[in-house]
């Protein structure tokens, strides 16, 4: 694996410095770390989209955009005297070495479960010098998408042996959650329906985790498949001079079946 070119990184940082300098861009000069947060989220989402679409050229572009924002943030924090970008690189390197003792310190792990438990233990020990409690879920970002958060909650709980003892027991629990949801629906209790629907989703995420499926990625794949099929239906309708505004369900189903058959 090739190293990041020092010249390439230095050149990008020089661009950021020029944008923030006296003769730079007025918009860039007004930015703060907080104002860049939405752009970081947007660029990260675009990178994920390119990766999932198996688009190397798109991934290259979006990685560059994200790296630019990292350099931008680094420059802003350095200007405030908080830390430098090199400090961030050094911290990341030290953290990865510390969290991989089986690679860098001769530690022995017998399986992935033991490896992940060590990872969690090391993460929690890293918080030992900070204030507040140090619970199992304290390191979980509050802003994670709900499905991803549910996956991480279930995974972390399982690493600490707070989970169903067998896949069948978890499957049985999922059926119980489904029954409770149907009971709430039948009772026409909106609050209970929402709560039970959430419980069912949470258990369904764990069901997928045990199958090796990440719910967030699986749902994104289903979303993409639906959009692709729907756009093909629209293209078929347009090519045949059909007005989709006049379609009923049977008309849509005919095109849907045709699109599926052509996949």
Predicted local confidence at residue 4, as pLDDT? 55
The neighbour count for residue 102, using CB atoms within 10 Å, is 14
Q: What are the 10-residue block averages of pLDDT along the chain, 263 residues in total?
A: 69 96 95 94 92 93 96 96 95 93 89 83 71 72 89 92 94 97 97 96 97 93 94 96 96 96 92
Q: In whole angstroms, what is the distance from residue 145 CA to residue 100 CA?
A: 27
pTM: 0.65
Predicted local confidence at residue 129, as pLDDT? 45
> CA triplet 257, 259, 260: central angle to 5 degrees?
65
Predicted local confidence at residue 80, as pLDDT? 95
* HEC-encoded secondary structure of the chain: CCCCCHHHHHHHHHHHHHHHCCCCCHHHHCCCCCCCHHHHHHHHHHHHHHHHCCCHHHHHHHHHHHHHHHHHHHHHHHHCCCCCHHHHHHHHHHHHHHHCHHHHCCCCCCCHHHHHHHHHHHHHHHHHHCCCCCCCCCCCCCCCCHHHHHHHHHHHHHHCCCCCCCHHHHHHHHHHHHHHHHHHHHCCCHHHHHHHHHHHHHHHHHHHHHCCCCHHHHHHHHHHHHHHHHHHHHHHHHHCCCCHHHCCHHHHHHHHHHHHHCC
User: How far, in Å, are 155, 185, 197 from residue 201 at the CA level?
Assistant: 15, 15, 6
Q: In whole angstroms, what is the distance from residue 176 CA to residue 217 CA?
A: 25
């Amino acid at each position: 694996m090739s190293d990041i070119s020092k010249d390439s990184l230095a050149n990008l940082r020089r661009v950021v410095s020029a944008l923030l300098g006296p003769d730079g861009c007025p918009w860039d000069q007004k930015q703060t770390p907080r104002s860049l947060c939405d752009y970081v989220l947007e660029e990260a989402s675009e990178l994920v989209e390119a990766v999932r679409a198996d688009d190397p050229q798109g991934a290259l572009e979006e990685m560059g955009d994200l790296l630019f924002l990292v350099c931008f943030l680094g420059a802003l924090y350095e200007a405030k005297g908080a830390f430098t970008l090199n400090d961030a690189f050094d911290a990341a390197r030290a953290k990865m070495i510390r969290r991989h003792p089986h690679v860098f310190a001769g530690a022995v792990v017998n399986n992935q479960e033991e490896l992940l438990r060590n990872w969690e233990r090391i993460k929690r020990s890293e918080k030992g010098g900070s204030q507040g409690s140090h619970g199992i879920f304290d390191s979980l970002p509050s802003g994670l998408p709900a499905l991803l958060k549910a996956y991480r909650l279930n995974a972390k709980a399982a690493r600490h042996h707070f989970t169903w003892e067998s896949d069948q027991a978890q499957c049985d629990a999922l059926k119980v959650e489904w029954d409770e949801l149907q009971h709430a629906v039948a009772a026409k209790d909106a609050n209970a329906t929402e709560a039970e629907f959430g419980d069912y989703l949470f258990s369904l995420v764990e069901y997928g985790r045990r199958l090796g499926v990440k719910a967030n990625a699986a749902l994104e794949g289903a979303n993409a498949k639906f959009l692709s099929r729907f756009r093909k239906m629209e293209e078929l309708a347009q090519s045949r001079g059909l007005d989709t505004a006049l379609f009923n369900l049977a008309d849509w189903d005919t095109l849907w079946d045709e699109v599926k058959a052509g996949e």
